[in-house]
């Protein structure tokens, strides 16, 4: 059997602020120990599934994340493809684009659809369930995986199971249920026929396209047009922006799965496979605390953390020492530009802080102090009324765009490596411990011609220092 892993990487993870930001969401972060990000862990857990042939993983993401995702795939030795959405339209259009991409060379693989930001700690149990699902999907079924609940969880939707279907504990789906209140969730747990809705699916690409065409032709039409008008740019599969803009937003569950289970349409059988594999959608800090290893007092510590007389606390440091004394059921998250302190039972409300930051026009809800770019990254280390200091690292062979600024001048000091600088009509090299100056309104470009990272300090000065004061004339990354 041919399986095409499809990783949906469109979420913003605002409830995991301040580590997760709109421009660098949780799936791109290492949150569960080790070096893998959630995206990389999602891709890696399908390696080694028995008796199947795996295609290269396909990632569907917003084009804004394309370079950092491509870099994370490169570090894993994976080569894409990456399907780029001009803007988010939820999971049903994303899967429709993935199915079109999977069939572009005449194949009809089984799609293994996985959100990029979930945690599964028991990889073998997951792979065994996927093996069961592949057999059913190969026969034409639409398969989802329901998580065996261990608590009356109000943050998840539920799937009520029906009669058994075939072998290996699969069941027909009786119905999908919205997120319940606590009393209803407890009744589901006591009933024993309800599973958490995981957002994991398997079906043939042609089966999905047939189902979405019947259920939501208003999604299929724009997606097909956007695909037909799209272009291939290396590992990036770009769809037409204007056509995709006509596509409504909807989820896989609402668009197709619920309509199948309601029996209103002549569509493939929908089945659910129970899964007990240490699953979590890590939707908030309390969920992350549940899946991470704890000390004897129930504490989780990551980074430079010291605790005294604390219980059931999650403390994470990415930059500075975090010290906590005598607290219980508290979350403390430190980043270079923001610190979150919350009761563990109220971490779902962190989104309200992010909403407040947006209304106030503050950047902390959107960007980290350290911002990744296709050429490397920059870290804004200090700022004042008319100055901003950045540490800039440019990858070997990479270059920034040819650009100018109307409101600021820039002073560059090379700390490591050699920079090739274009300033106006001249081009020259700047070596370690040397500096150069870019006057306001002057076209310029920074390049790294060497074989080691270029590290430099940039001091901006001027009346306005925002990132949108950039006029690009040429850019190898197509921005």
pLDDT tens string 73-116: 999 999 889 999 999 999 999 999 999 999 998 899 999 999 99
**What's the rounded mean pLDDT across residues 409-421?**
98
Pairing of strands 471-474, 402-404: antiparallel
The CA distances from residue 94 to 54, 71, 82, 181, in Å, are 20, 21, 12, 30
95 or 259: which leads in pLDDT: 95
- DSSP secondary structure of 357-373: HHHTT-GGGT--SEEEE
Instruction: Give percent above pLDDT 70 in the chain.
Output: 99
Q: Which residue has the tokens 């503050």?
A: 362
pLDDT at 10 over 90: no
Rounded to an integer, what distance in angstroms lies between the CA atom of residue 442 and that of residue 390?
19
Predicted pLDDT of residue 234:
86
Rounded to an integer, what distance in angstroms lies between the CA atom of residue 441 and that of residue 408?
8
| Per-domain residue ranges of the chain | 2-280, 285-354, 370-474
**What's the rounded mean pLDDT across residues 246-271?**
83
Q: Are 221 and 163 in contact (CB under 8 A)?
A: no
Task: Tell me the average pLDDT of the chain.
Answer: 93
The CA distances from residue 98 to 3, 118, 223, 276, in Å, are 13, 19, 10, 27
pLDDT at 167 over 70: no
Predicted pLDDT of residue 265:
61
Q: What angle do CA 423, 455, 335 make, to 5 degrees?
A: 120
**DSSP conformation class of 104:** T
Tens of pLDDT, residue by residue over 301-339, are 999 999 999 999 999 999 999 999 999 999 999 999 999
At 128, the pLDDT band (50, 70, 90 cuts) reads very high
pLDDT at 404 over 90: yes
Predicted pLDDT of residue 166:
72
Predicted pLDDT of residue 467:
86
40 CB-contact burial (10 Å; exposed 0-12 / middle 13-18 / buried 19+)? buried
pLDDT at 58 over 80: yes
pTM over 0.85: yes
At 213, the pLDDT band (50, 70, 90 cuts) reads very high
pLDDT at 242 over 70: yes
Instruction: Report whether CATH 2.60.120.10 matches the domain 370-474.
Output: yes
Tens of pLDDT, residue by residue over 261-294, are 776 566 678 999 999 999 999 989 999 999 999 9
Q: Are 447 and 419 in contact (CB under 8 A)?
A: yes
Predicted pLDDT of residue 263:
63
At 49, the pLDDT band (50, 70, 90 cuts) reads confident
Rounded to an integer, what distance in angstroms lies between the CA atom of residue 456 and that of residue 437?
13
Please provide the CATH number assigned to the domain covering 2-280.
3.90.550.10
Among 43, 1, 10, 51, residue whose Cα is nearest residue 204: 1
Tens of pLDDT, residue by residue over 329-386, are 999 999 999 999 999 999 999 999 999 999 999 989 998 999 889 999 999 999 998 9
Length of the chain, please?
Answer: 479
């Amino acid at each position: 059997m041919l399986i095409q892993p499809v990783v949906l990487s469109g979420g913003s993870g605002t409830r995991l602020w301040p580590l997760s930001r709109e421009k660098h969401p949780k799936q791109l972060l290492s949150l569960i120990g080790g070096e893998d990000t959630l995206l990389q862990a999602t891709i890696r857990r399908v390696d080694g599934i028995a008796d199947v042939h795996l295609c290269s993983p396909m990632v569907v993401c917003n084009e804004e994340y394309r370079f950092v995702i491509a870099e994370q795939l490169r570090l894993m030795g994976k080569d894409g493809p990456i399907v780029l959405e001009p803007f988010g339209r939820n999971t049903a259009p994303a899967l429709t684009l993935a199915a079109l991409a999977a069939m572009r060379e005449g194949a009809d693989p089984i799609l293994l659809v996985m959100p990029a930001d979930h945690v599964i700690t028991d990889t073998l149990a997951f792979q065994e369930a996927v093996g069961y699902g592949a057999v059913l999907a190969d026969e034409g079924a639409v398969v989802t995986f329901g998580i065996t609940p261990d608590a009356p969880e109000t943050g998840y939707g539920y799937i009520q199971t029906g009669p058994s279907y075939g072998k290996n504990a699969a069941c027909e789906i009786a119905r999908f249920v919205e997120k319940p209140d606590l009393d209803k969730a407890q009744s589901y747990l006591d009933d024993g026929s309800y599973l958490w809705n995981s957002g994991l699916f398997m079906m043939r690409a042609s089966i999905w396209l047939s189902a979405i065409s019947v259920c939501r032709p208003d999604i299929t039409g724009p997606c097909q047009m956007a695909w037909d008008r799209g272009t291939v740019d290396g590992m990036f599969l770009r769809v037409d922006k204007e056509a995709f803009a006509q596509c409504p937003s909807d989820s896989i569950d609402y668009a197709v799965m619920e309509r199948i289970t309601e029996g209103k349409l002549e569509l493939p059988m929908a089945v659910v496979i129970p899964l007990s594999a240490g699953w979590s959608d890590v939707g908030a800090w309390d969920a992350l605390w549940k899946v991470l290893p704890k000390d004897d007092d129930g504490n989780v510590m990551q980074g430079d953390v010291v605790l005294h007389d604390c219980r059931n606390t999650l403390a994470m440091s990415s930059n500075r020492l975090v010290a906590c004394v005598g607290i219980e059921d508290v979350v403390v998250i430190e980043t270079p530009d923001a610190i979150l302190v919350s009761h563990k039972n109220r971490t779902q409300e962190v989104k309200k802080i992010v909403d407040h930051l947006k209304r106030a026009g503050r950047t902390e809800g959107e960007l980290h102090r350290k911002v990744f770019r296709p050429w490397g990254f920059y870290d804004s280390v200090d700022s004042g009324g008319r100055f901003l200091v950045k540490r800039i690292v440019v990858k070997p062979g990479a270059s920034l765009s040819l650009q100018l600024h109307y409101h600021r001048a820039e002073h560059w000091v090379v700390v490591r490596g050699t920079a090739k600088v274009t300033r106006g009509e001249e081009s020259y090299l700047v070596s370690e411990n040397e500096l150069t100056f870019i006057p306001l309104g002057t076209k310029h470009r920074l390049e790294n011609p060497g074989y080691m990272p270029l590290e430099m300090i940039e001091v901006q000065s001027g009346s306005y220092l925002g990132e949108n004061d950039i006029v690009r004339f040429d850019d190898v990354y197509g921005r």
